[in-house]
Amino acid sequence: MDDVPCAVLVEMITDYLDRSIPSDLRVRVDAHLALCPGCTSVLEQVRRVIRVAGHLTDDDVDALPAADRDRLLAAFRAARHAG
């Protein structure tokens, strides 16, 4: 398989950003990103989330309404268990 399907790329996006995928796969992902605006958009969204989350303090998290905090935590847990 020369191309990385979008669904596969999205599942490995954090590994890609962590540089924990093999270099040959990284080359294929880079080629895919060069041609796929949808996956490039997902990559940029994940990068934005990482930047914003890196600046959150415990006070910021505590200031979230409980329902919003619970939804976010549930989404993170689901994403972690899906992989």
20: its two tokens: 């924990």
At residue 2, the pLDDT reads: 58
pLDDT tens track for 10-57: 889 989 998 999 999 999 999 999 999 999 999 998 888 888 777 777
CB count, 10 Å around CB of 29? 21
pTM over 0.75: no
Distances (CA, A) of 36 to 78, 79, 82: 26, 23, 24
At residue 77, the pLDDT reads: 73
pLDDT tens track for 51-78: 877 777 778 777 888 888 788 777 777 7
